[in-house]
Amino acid sequence: MTPFGTLREIRDAVQSGARRAVDVCEASLATIESRDPALHAFNTVVRDRALARAAAIDRHPSRSTLPLAGVPVAVKDNICTSGVRTTASSKILETFVPPYDATVVQRLEAAGAIIVGKANCDEFAMGSSTETSAFGPTMNPWDTTKIPGGTSGGSAVAVAAGMTPLALGSDTGGSIRQPAALCGIVGLKPTYGRVSRYGLLAHASSLDQIGPMTRTVDDAAIALSVLAGHDAADATSARAAVADYASALTADTASLTIGIPRTLIDTGVDPEVGKAFYAALDVLSGHGATVIDIDLPHAGAAIPVYYLVSTAEASSNLARYDGVRFGYRAPSEAAGPGGRMQDDLKAMYGRTRARGFGPEVKRRIMLGTYVLSAGYYDAYYLKAQKVRTLIRRDYEQAFARVDVVAMPTSPTAAFTLGEKLSDPLQMYLADIFTVSANLSGLPAISVPCGFTTSQLPIGLQLTGRLFDEATILQAAHVYERHTSWWTHHPPSR
Ligand code: GLN
């Protein structure tokens, strides 16, 4: 059995008894063991726990109806797992073991999924390359000198390299879709409020959303139906009805209107990415879609708006890591000159945060604190919120004419490890096509749409109306059905 079986194939085999969940789990763990030393997708692997849970699924009285029966899953390490270390890839939470499960973890396990480990990510999900992790970067399986994208890079690599058929990511400004694109898999950011954020270590609360990463669109649809739904523990979670998304993927043609913001796309996209993107639109228009040009006049402001709003929210969210309640506390300073203790509470906070957070997280906290401070609030934060409204309106106007907005997911394919790490602005510009879906709350999916000449994957991004995941899944599925990119897997060296 190849490690690249789909979620659906595995689920069906375990449901029917053709395969034991324990054997599926062993196979997943064996792939992790052989591949992960070179890739570092995982911060933690929970071998015994996973095998025990898989054995329980094999004995489960309603195994035959569990929607994720025996499906191995990698959970991004910023999503709380009861009894299993959850670090957000930060030194400050290196030893943090949550006393509760995130709602999405509860839902996955209730559906029969088996968590095999916690996936590496950028520290507190800040970055675009999984290089800001305090535990070292994740490597792209297509070329291990390249980044896998980020921040859900470990999740993307677990799926791309055949370690698990499903991973959870979180997406604040592109962190599900961009690594999915750069690793050649499917990544879905649901509508804000569609999936509970309870138990997600908050980065920017008005933007964060958890979603599935898989090798096929059908698998993403199956997972979304499990993850989505109202949760009383998350005040922002929506009461919108959840469909059986996978069963709805029946059409062979996509008779819908797709809008493309051509001026935005044609400025600053790598030519190979642009070529793959327009070829993908030709496939869709060859199978029923009408493609028209649209204008998103404020799209050029999306990056600055995103990095003002997200850092403001992050600076507030990260105030809780003070060395008292969670994780790391810097040891107290030795007695100073004359034997007098130098320490007080404030010094302990400062030392803990200085040593516990990495440089990118500190940069965000400082930027966010600055934009929220008296005198600058109106000039930066308030203004950014106003432009955020304009960006959302651009989409509302576009959706009066089109069903889906298409863009490349990322302006380039995977870049080289270290290439942008010392230039934050270059790193931030990698998010040009992804952040506006978060700023507007809209659902968006990335689906593989080709390769560069050096065999690096390229992703097509489709954005839909609020709570209309069904339409982007449908369009992505039609595209996938008429192409074979998803059948390509990275070399297993
Ligand atoms: N690259 C963006 C950032 O660094 C997005 C991160 C994310 O989606 N978590 O903030």
CB 39 within 8 A of CB 143: no
Ligand 1 center–CA 385 separation, angstroms: 18
Q: Which atom of ligand 1 is nearest to the CA of 427?
A: 1
pLDDT at residue number 8:
98
Q: Which atom of ligand 1 is nearest to the CA of 438?
A: 8
| Mean pLDDT to the nearest integer, 313-328 | 94
Ligand 1 center–CA 313 separation, angstroms: 13
Confidence of residue 341 (pLDDT cuts 50, 70, 90): low
Confidence of residue 410 (pLDDT cuts 50, 70, 90): very high
Ligand 1 center–CA 122 separation, angstroms: 9
Q: Delineate the domains of the chain, giving CATH numbers in brackets.
A: 7-250+480-487 (3.90.1300.10)
| Mean pLDDT to the nearest integer, 411-427 | 94
| Mean pLDDT to the nearest integer, 64-90 | 98
**Residue of 128, 171, 189 to mutate, ligand 1, most atoms within 8 A of C-beta:** 128
Residue nearest to atom 10 of ligand 1 (CA): 126
Q: pLDDT tens digits for 202-229?
A: 999 999 999 999 999 999 999 999 999 9
pLDDT at residue number 340:
53
Which residues line the pocket of ligand 1, CB cutoff 6 A? 125-128, 151, 171-175, 203, 310, 431
Ligand 1 center–CA 58 separation, angstroms: 38
CB 96 within 8 A of CB 127: no
pLDDT at residue number 470:
97
Ligand 1 center–CA 206 separation, angstroms: 13
pLDDT at 343 over 90: no
Q: pLDDT tens digits for 434-448?
A: 999 999 999 999 999
State what percent of residues in the chain have pLDDT above 70: 98
pLDDT at residue number 336:
56
pLDDT at residue number 125:
98
Q: Which atom of ligand 1 is nearest to the CA of 430?
A: 1
Ligand 1 center–CA 216 separation, angstroms: 24
pLDDT at residue number 312:
98
Residue nearest to atom 2 of ligand 1 (CA): 173
pLDDT at residue number 2:
84
**Residue of 152, 192, 310, 446 to mutate, ligand 1, most atoms within 8 A of C-beta:** 310
Q: Rounded to an integer, what distance in angstroms lies between the CA atom of residue 323 and that of residue 340?
A: 22
Rounded to a whole number of angstroms, the CA Rg of the chain reads: 22
Query: Residue 342: how many CB atoms within 10 A of its CB?
Result: 11
Q: Which atom of ligand 1 is nearest to the CA of 171?
A: 8
Ligand 1 center–CA 120 separation, angstroms: 14
Q: Please tell me whether the overall predicted TM-score, pTM, comes out greater than 0.85 for this model.
A: yes
Ligand 1 center–CA 131 separation, angstroms: 12
User: Between 252 and 339, whose confidence is greater?
Assistant: 252
pLDDT at 332 over 90: no
pLDDT at 69 over 90: yes
pLDDT at residue number 493:
63
State what percent of residues in the chain have pLDDT above 90: 93
**Residue of 77, 126, 133 to mutate, ligand 1, most atoms within 8 A of C-beta:** 126
Ligand 1 center–CA 101 separation, angstroms: 23
pLDDT at 411 over 60: yes
pLDDT at residue number 452:
98
Ligand 1 center–CA 169 separation, angstroms: 12
Poorest-pLDDT segment among 182-186, 347-351, 356-360, 463-467? 347-351
pLDDT at 338 over 80: no
Q: Which atom of ligand 1 is nearest to the CA of 431?
A: 1
| Mean pLDDT to the nearest integer, 344-365 | 95
CB 445 within 8 A of CB 409: no
| Mean pLDDT to the nearest integer, 361-379 | 96
